[in-house]
Amino acid sequence: MLRAVLSLKVGRLVPTLLTGLLLASMGVSAATPLSSDNNPVLRIQGSNTIGAQLGPALVEGLMRKQGLQSVHTEPGAQPNEVRVSGTTTERHVVTIDVAAHGSSTGFEALKTGKADLAASSRAIKPQEALDLKALGDLRSHKAEQVIAIDGVAVILHPGNPLRELTTEQLAQVFSGQIVNWEELGGSGGPIHLYARDEQSGTFDTFKELVLLKYGKTLSRSASRLESSEQLSYLVSQDLYGIGFIGLPYILKAKAVAIADGEAKPMLPTVSLIATEDYPLSRRLYFYLPPEAPQHWAQALVQFAQSPEGQAIVAQSGFVAQTVQAIQVQPTAQMPRDYQVLTREAQRLSVNFRFAQGSARLDSKAQQDLTRVIDYLKHHNKMNGSVTLVGFGDAKSDPARATLLSKLRAMAVRRELIKNNVIVRDIRGFGEDMPVAGNDVDGGRIKNRRVEVWVN
């Protein structure tokens, strides 16, 4: 049996959690310390969206996977902090601390050495990556780990009759330009704004996708909250309330459909969020310092990406990255050839997207390649069953947009060929069927995508 150091304070060796084979498979080496009651083996800080439920659930899953007993979560020293604990068969306590005070606090904690892993509901900012360069490239494929997909839902009181809003209307509402429900076609009354606090990744995402896109800032009249659950509860009790929240926290409130640019209004459904077509969809991340990563942090990242980890993602109310086939209903707004495809094939619940200003697949797409290939192998579709469909943002020359969209599909085909997948066909639909507006970089990046269809 491999042995691990309990801690320098304890000063003696104890048996490890698992056999060497399982330990190595989870990224935990024989030199990995176990914790005493006051010394956690892993410290996670960052997003409230992740840390409130998903993070602790993944930690519990990892502990059980490694054979710990009596695994449980209890409140930490401060609000929005928890400690997850388990015991070895030798009755040694292993603890992991999770603090959920907002995405930016996770990167700051990495910088100050108070965290081993950052949880974030937005991508790391360039300045944050620069500040943390001593830990390695936090934007690299190894460091930036997409663990789940979420949708920022816009929520109303259940009695509010509105069914859909545009991103431009949202910007006008939350900046205080529109202050009465009558201006939106509602039944009248003052609009009460609810928003997450300044440290929140949910707020950062909403600010980037909605407010900054239209040159707006959040109204000072908005009530700011650190807790997702509390925000949702307050909106559900306020007939004149409106807020934005992560998908699992809609609870008793009512979500409305959102339209961006020329795209059709979309509700935050699982399928539209899984493909990131929903305008306010977003990725949830673990950021693992790539230079000499902490062993337990590495183990948790690997577990989160595993099928068992993704099952916990789904159980926690987020959208897992598990690949599934979706039957798409044709509509009159679709190009004719695309309508034919919907009748002949099923779409996989993944879109391949590309790094900004590059033909290189982004960090999520590189993980998704493995998932798609596993799906094709499992369903015996490696040989001529796959059609790749490329899309792009609007160009002054539609023919150029079509060509670029087809080139993107060809880039994905090259990666699949490396893994012995024979692609049946590739198609490019150019600027057709946008899922976001083309007036900002974020929208153009979302429109530059490749869908996977299987017969």
DSSP tag of 395: -
Q: Mention the CATH class of domain 3-140+288-315.
A: alpha beta
Which of the residue ranges 9-18, 265-274, 382-391 has the most confident prediction, judged by mean pLDDT? 382-391
Task: Answer whether residue 39 shows pLDDT above 50.
Answer: yes
- Spatial separation of the C-alpha atoms in residues 269 and 151, rounded to whole Å: 8
- Spatial separation of the C-alpha atoms in residues 86 and 89, rounded to whole Å: 10
Least confident of 177-181, 206-210, 301-305, 335-339: 206-210
Instruction: Write the pLDDT tens digit of every residue in 256-284.
Output: 999 998 888 999 998 899 999 999 998 99
- Tell me the average pLDDT across 202-221: 92
Q: Where are the alpha helices (DSSP H) in 225-284?
A: 228-237, 270-274
pLDDT of residue 407: 92
The structural domains of the chain, with segments of one domain joined by +, span: 3-140+288-315, 150-273, 323-454
423: three-class secondary structure by DSSP: strand
**Token couple for 256:** 């409305």
Closest CA to 96 of 126, 61, 124: 61
pLDDT of residue 37: 52
Closest CA to 437 of 206, 269, 280, 332: 280
- β-sheet with 346-353: strand ranges across: 325-326, 346-353, 449-454, 383-391, 422-428
Q: Mention the CATH class of domain 323-454.
A: alpha beta
353: three-class secondary structure by DSSP: strand
User: Domain 150-273, what architecture?
Assistant: 3-Layer(aba) Sandwich (3.40)
Number of H helices, E strands in the chain: 15, 20
Domains 3-140+288-315 and 150-273 fall in the same CATH topology: yes
- Tell me the average pLDDT across 450-455: 97
Task: Answer whether residue 6 shows pLDDT above 50.
Answer: no
318: three-class secondary structure by DSSP: coil
Task: Answer whether residue 356 shows pLDDT above 80.
Answer: no
**Would strands 192-196 and 281-287 be described as parallel, antiparallel, or unpaired?**
unpaired
Task: Answer whether residue 190 shows pLDDT above 90.
Answer: yes
Instruction: Write the pLDDT tens digit of every residue in 119-174.
Output: 999 999 999 999 999 999 999 988 999 999 988 999 999 999 999 999 999 999 99
DSSP tag of 396: S
